[in-house]
Amino acid sequence: MNSRININPFQVFKKEWTLLGSIINPFTFQAALDFLQSIEIPLENLGVRLYPLEAYSRVIEEVRRGEITKAMFRMNT
Protein backbone atom coordinates (compact mmCIF):
# COMPACT_ATOMS: atom_id res chain seq x y z
CA MET A 1 0.00 0.00 0.00
CA ASN A 2 1.16 3.50 -0.72
CA SER A 3 -0.97 5.43 1.76
CA ARG A 4 0.71 8.35 3.51
CA ILE A 5 -0.04 10.75 6.31
CA ASN A 6 1.68 14.00 7.28
CA ILE A 7 2.52 14.41 10.94
CA ASN A 8 4.10 17.43 12.55
CA PRO A 9 6.61 15.90 15.00
CA PHE A 10 6.50 18.98 17.23
CA GLN A 11 2.75 18.48 17.73
CA VAL A 12 3.48 14.89 18.74
CA PHE A 13 6.02 16.08 21.31
CA LYS A 14 3.98 19.06 22.55
CA LYS A 15 0.75 17.10 23.00
CA GLU A 16 2.58 13.96 24.18
CA TRP A 17 0.79 11.80 21.66
CA THR A 18 1.60 8.13 21.35
CA LEU A 19 1.45 6.70 17.86
CA LEU A 20 0.97 2.99 17.44
CA GLY A 21 0.69 1.00 14.28
CA SER A 22 -0.70 -2.42 13.70
CA ILE A 23 -1.69 -4.60 10.85
CA ILE A 24 -4.70 -6.86 10.75
CA ASN A 25 -5.59 -9.68 8.48
CA PRO A 26 -9.36 -9.36 8.02
CA PHE A 27 -9.62 -13.06 7.24
CA THR A 28 -8.40 -14.28 10.65
CA PHE A 29 -11.17 -13.00 12.95
CA GLN A 30 -13.70 -15.68 12.06
CA ALA A 31 -10.99 -18.35 12.25
CA ALA A 32 -10.13 -17.18 15.78
CA LEU A 33 -13.78 -17.31 16.84
CA ASP A 34 -14.14 -20.78 15.35
CA PHE A 35 -11.04 -21.91 17.22
CA LEU A 36 -12.35 -20.59 20.55
CA GLN A 37 -15.62 -22.44 20.03
CA SER A 38 -13.81 -25.64 19.06
CA ILE A 39 -11.85 -25.77 22.32
CA GLU A 40 -15.00 -24.97 24.28
CA ILE A 41 -13.61 -22.15 26.41
CA PRO A 42 -16.40 -19.69 27.21
CA LEU A 43 -15.53 -16.18 26.05
CA GLU A 44 -16.48 -14.91 29.51
CA ASN A 45 -13.47 -16.77 30.94
CA LEU A 46 -11.24 -14.63 28.70
CA GLY A 47 -12.85 -11.36 29.84
CA VAL A 48 -14.83 -11.07 26.61
CA ARG A 49 -18.57 -10.52 26.61
CA LEU A 50 -21.15 -10.18 23.84
CA TYR A 51 -23.63 -7.31 24.04
CA PRO A 52 -26.42 -5.80 21.97
CA LEU A 53 -25.27 -2.55 20.35
CA GLU A 54 -27.72 -0.46 22.34
CA ALA A 55 -25.93 -1.44 25.60
CA TYR A 56 -22.77 0.48 24.64
CA SER A 57 -22.94 3.01 27.50
CA ARG A 58 -23.21 0.24 30.11
CA VAL A 59 -20.32 -1.58 28.44
CA ILE A 60 -18.08 1.49 28.68
CA GLU A 61 -18.69 1.61 32.42
CA GLU A 62 -17.93 -2.12 32.79
CA VAL A 63 -14.63 -1.62 30.98
CA ARG A 64 -13.77 1.36 33.20
CA ARG A 65 -14.46 -0.71 36.32
CA GLY A 66 -12.26 -3.51 34.98
CA GLU A 67 -15.13 -6.01 34.88
CA ILE A 68 -14.38 -6.92 31.27
CA THR A 69 -11.35 -6.58 29.04
CA LYS A 70 -13.08 -6.72 25.66
CA ALA A 71 -16.61 -6.28 24.39
CA MET A 72 -18.15 -7.60 21.23
CA PHE A 73 -21.39 -6.11 19.93
CA ARG A 74 -24.16 -8.01 18.23
CA MET A 75 -25.64 -5.91 15.44
CA ASN A 76 -29.39 -5.97 14.96
CA THR A 77 -30.01 -7.01 11.38
For the chain, domain boundaries:
47-77
Q: What is the pLDDT of residue 16?
A: 92
List pLDDT tens digits, range 13-30: 999 988 888 787 878 888
Dihedral angle at the C-alpha atoms of 16, 17, 18, 22, nearest 10 degrees?
A: -170
Measured distance CA(14)–CA(7) in Å, rounded = 13
- In this predicted structure, the answer to whether residue 2 has a pLDDT above a threshold of 90 is no
pTM: 0.42
| Side chain identity at residue 37, one-letter code | Q
List pLDDT tens digits, range 35-76: 877 887 776 677 778 889 899 899 999 888 988 888 888 876
**7 SS3 class:** coil
